[in-house]
Chains A and B, each alone.
Chain A
């Protein structure tokens, strides 16, 4: 439990403190140097004390202290500069002259005045606060996620020294295979660079109703005894495995995961020492894991998986020479990658020689963190980049808004300056306004980020280490600092200008004549360019997604219901009984109204869950005679006949399995088209003999490959054999129906429990759902990036509209003059539109260049579309042009409808 209390806050607070103290130290620059020299260090020390003191009162109070501290520094620092050696008098101290009050009024008065001013400009205020809010919210949510998923510490002791060891079958082009038991033993005994290694294997068992719960299938991880010691995370209750519990013949013991303990056993504190029944065998509960225990077992080919409970592995590792385990190792401190690899090579070489004829078996380490996030890394980086792009536009918009505000206020400020307001007073005046805006926006942003991170954690079900997602303190501070600096910068510029410009000119300009400036034009160009990059990115991702949705998965997912049917082996020790159970259930379901076909398979398409083995065709014309070259690693499946019909898998040649293909009949197999093409290109394979798991099988049919891994392609060929000839206990049923698949669920439950009341059924899912879930990651990336692109486009449009309409209104006189001289409305309109379009065109050219430059970052995320897809580029440019046209046309219409007389009279 002690661990649970120490993790997130105490790890993060020092970082927050460092940031906050650094920021506060920065704010002390407001004081004169001599003052800082005398007491600066003490003030920082005192700030730390206050920060920590506030931390005890709640999570947000330290930030209030920081905010107050910075405002205090500005207030007192400026005061000390103006009047060294005098303090701020409290307002009640002595009455002040109006002028003194203007200069010396406390910053809180300034803030109050600023708030009143902003209230009078609600649209400006709302748009700035919203812009900052959305920006900070997006920034904090996205970067917190990236930070937590990619970098935040994993909840193990020294996680960067944990690595999985994989077999590389160099001759078979299979670099990531499970380790063998003999590898684990050899490494445990002979590799000095490794402190410990544990063998892991995932499986599923049925919990029987003898412990009082419903029959239930759970996922378990089988581990060596040193597993919890290796991670450095002991169970919260009870104990971990002891040495000697991981040998053949040991009693089954189990460490329950938190969720299982709470959900099935009602968080029973007395559970340690009790027996639960796993696949009919009694297992003593020896421990319960803590709330913060998170472990995901990485896999050779399939997706990483979590377990509900951990049980001791009772195998004699010395007897397992083939690849069967994930080997998790803790590398000794300070060992170089080369030294580790050299030692592994030396230890594996004898195994290679003895069992693999020195074909070149190797074992290599994959460090845990990189391994787990390597698949999502490109997507996260692309999303992060998209967010950064949108933020850039947002900053540009913000700058435009604030500069516009400053221009509008310039005459007011010039008057103040002329009446004797010092530069400091003007600065405080402007600064208080922009700081007020920034802080309100940031507060809104943090609120949005809270929702944002929760939303991401809910939606991104495929993201590893999802449990770690939450607002990250350092990211939040970074966002706040950026926002504050932006606010300060936006406040300084107008005040500076006001203090320097001569009043007469400022007042004249405020009358409405244009100052020629390239800044707004440049901002529009930047915005258009950035939005275009985002649009193109979102466009190609969308095309890729559509491609995936439309790609033929090799089966027909519509109208198919699937359910897992895990059978407890002890209840059906004989293969005949097992087959009778399956056939009974299948035929029962087939007789339900609306059901068209029923069958079963050990692993459904897109679930990545089957095993691999090797297949060879002795009669293939392509055989070279070298055994290793003529065998192929394939995914293999066991089938209850009817499956191909139910799943809508096309039988291209030969026949489907039938009931007569049983244990007594000759061995038969059905292979997919890729395997047929590999060994018998262009020839008929039906009737050929395949050596499969060392036994000759007759190929009776060829099917169109149903995808197991990705919807668009599988690298490995597939072999199907009848379950009756290769009995196994875990199977899933596929049911094709004319009715709503969900409506069948209760009928199927009734039917199965009528046959065996203790038989668990789990994972009722329609095949459509399975397909949709397999695209979760793609959908999330696409959704986020499209969202950013849409946001960017909107912001860019608003920016463009603002710039063009500003230009139009400042040239009203000129327009009037032109029209008075005979220009018609259309001409004026086209002039204004042309001006805006010119900016958009330059922006588009820059944007296209940017898209081409950034294309390669998206490459790994795309399927069936090139990153610099010309169609998408053209479409994005056209879309951009249309939007710019609208943004320019509205102010252009206004310009052309000006009454020349009014325009000319106006001043």
Chain B
């Protein structure tokens, strides 16, 4: 079984690359296949972040090996065009912890930037 992650374990992966962070964001909410991750990321960023297939799969490989994500047999029930051939990915507890740690890091950076007057109000 995957051991319960502790804080220091997650710190090893910080900072994450943007691709990896986006993959984790997509997979924390539900299990998805590759194209699903691409669509979700594009939608979440209003099209600003368009993942290339190669970039995505290299990241998926890397993250699988690092134990941040794993392939899964479970299928989300609401996926209309569910397909036997597709490989779905899920975020491991470690992956979730890493994503949270990265978010916290980014958040503190962002607060620092606002405090320094570099950027304006939140939300943009």
Contacts and interface: CB of A to CB of B under 8 A. Distances in A.
A500 B37 CA distance: 43
A72 B52 contact: yes
Interface in A80-100: 80, 85-90, 93
A47 interface: yes
B83 to A, nearest CB: 8
B24 interface: no
Contact of B54 (A49, A72, A86, A93): A72
A570 interface: no
A88 B34 contact: no
Contacts of B85: 45
A46 interface: yes
B17 interface: yes
Contacts of B69: none
Contacts of A88: 55, 58
Contacts of A53: 35, 39
Contacts of B61: 35, 38-39, 85
Interface in A16-63: 31, 35, 38-39, 42-43, 45-47, 49-50, 53
Main secondary structure of the interface of B (DSSP, over half): helix
Interface string B66-82: 00000000000000000
A423 B39 CA distance: 36
Contact of A43 (B20, B53, B59): B53
Nearest to B18: A90
Contacts of A35: 58, 61
Contacts of A31: 54
B52 A68 contact: yes
B19 interface: yes
Given A42-B34, A46-B53, A50-B53, A87 B86 contact: no
A87 B59 CA distance: 6
A79 B52 CA distance: 14
B38 A73 contact: no
B65 A39 contact: no
B53 A93 contact: no
A50 B55 CA distance: 15
Contacts of A69: 52-53
Nearest to B36: A49
From B34, B38, B53, B58, residue with most partner A Cβ within 10 Å: B53
Contacts of B27: none
Contacts of B87: 42
A87 B19 contact: yes
A87 B52 CA distance: 12
Contact of A85 (B17, B34, B54, B65): B65
B97 interface: no
Contacts of A43: 34, 53-54, 57
B34 A45 contact: yes
A76 B62 contact: no
B91 interface: no
A87 B58 contact: yes
A79 B20 CA distance: 17
A87 B53 CA distance: 12
B94 interface: no
A87 B38 contact: no
A46 B62 contact: no
Contacts of B38: 46, 50
Nearest to B87: A42
B57 A87 contact: no
A72 B55 contact: yes
Interface residues of A, number: 28
Nearest to B50: A68
Given A69-B53, A76-B52, A85-B65, A49 B17 contact: no
B53 A72 contact: yes
A554 interface: no
Given A50-B38, A72-B52, A87-B19, A42 B57 contact: yes
Contact of A80 (B17, B19, B58, B60): B58
Contact of A50 (B19, B35, B59): B35
A77 interface: yes
Nearest to B56: A46
A40 B104 CA distance: 34
B94 to A, nearest CB: 18
A27 to B, nearest CB: 9
Nearest to B17: A87
Contacts of B58: 35, 76, 79-80, 87-88
A31 B35 CA distance: 19
A39 B86 contact: no
From A38, A42, A47, A50, residue with most partner B Cβ within 10 Å: A42
B39 to A, nearest CB: 8
A47 B39 CA distance: 12
B54 A73 contact: yes
A76 B34 contact: no
A87 B62 contact: yes
A46 B38 CA distance: 9
A72 B19 CA distance: 15
A73 B33 CA distance: 19
Nearest to A83: B58
A266 to B, nearest CB: 44
B25 to A, nearest CB: 16
Nearest to A92: B18
Contacts of A705: none
B52 A89 contact: no
B17 A93 contact: yes
A75 interface: yes
B35 A46 contact: yes
Interface in A484-525: none
From A47, A68, A87, residue with most partner B Cβ within 10 Å: A87
Given A38-B61, A39-B60, A42-B87, A89 B53 contact: no
Given A43-B57, A49-B35, A72-B52, 20 more contacts: A31-B54, A35-B58, A39-B57, A39-B60, A39-B61, A45-B85, A46-B57, A47-B53, A50-B35, A53-B35, A69-B52, A73-B54, A76-B54, A76-B55, A79-B58, A85-B61, A85-B65, A87-B20, A88-B55, A90-B17
28 contacts: A35-B61, A39-B61, A42-B33, A43-B34, A45-B35, A45-B86, A46-B33, A46-B56, A46-B57, A50-B53, A53-B35, A53-B39, A72-B54, A72-B55, A73-B53, A73-B54, A76-B58, A77-B54, A79-B58, A85-B61, A85-B62, A86-B62, A87-B17, A87-B55, A87-B59, A87-B62, A88-B58, A89-B17
Q: Closest 4 CB pairs between A and B?
A: A76-B54, A49-B35, A72-B52, A46-B34
